Homo-oligomer: A and B are copies of this chain.
Amino acid sequence: MTTLASTSNDLMDVSPAQERALEQRLRAAGLRMTRPRILLAHLLFRHGDRHLTAEMLYGEAQVEGLEVSLATVYNTLNQFLEVGLLRQVVVDSTRSYFDTNLGGHHHFFVESTGELIDVPSQAIKINDLPKAPEGFDMSGVDIVLRLTPKVTD
């Protein structure tokens, strides 16, 4: 018996269907249904598409009054990555962003704030793409549109 807050989803609007889907995926990946994992999964997937760093997620967990260690947040995020529940977005060499939007899409990146904004893949039309060099497969196309606050000069 621990002092952890209840894991029931009073606080988090995740449908029972989503919840089951989630459990399925964790199980399929051979991950046990542990309290921290369920918890973080709920935080991650409770509202639409999100981009967060480990620290951000850790912060949210604390706000919700849920006790998880930062190390576990990191480990869990990495496991979710491997399992394919998350994708990683590399835009800033000092931070790692995890993206809950699994569909093909791209990003605006506001350099000044570190904020990421989704760009649906149809919003960018690519008509020509080089073929992968001999011996390689192209495993992904990442497009980052960098934004700077408009200069009203």
Contact = CB atoms under 8 A, between A and B. Distances in A.
A58 B60 CA distance: 40
A140 interface: yes
A51 to B, nearest CB: 14
A64 interface: no
Q: Which of the listed residues A128, A133, A135, A143 has the most CB atoms from chain B within 10 Å of its own CB?
A: A143
Contacts of A91: 90
A71 interface: no
A15 interface: no
Contact of A128 (B108, B125, B137, B144): B125
A133 B146 contact: no
Interface in A81-96: 88, 90-93, 95-96
Interface stretch (A6-14, A28-36, A116-124): A116-124
A135 B119 contact: no
Nearest to A141: B145
B141 A130 contact: no
A134 to B, nearest CB: 8
A124 B119 contact: no
Given A142-B143, A143-B142, A133 B108 contact: yes
A144 B138 CA distance: 10
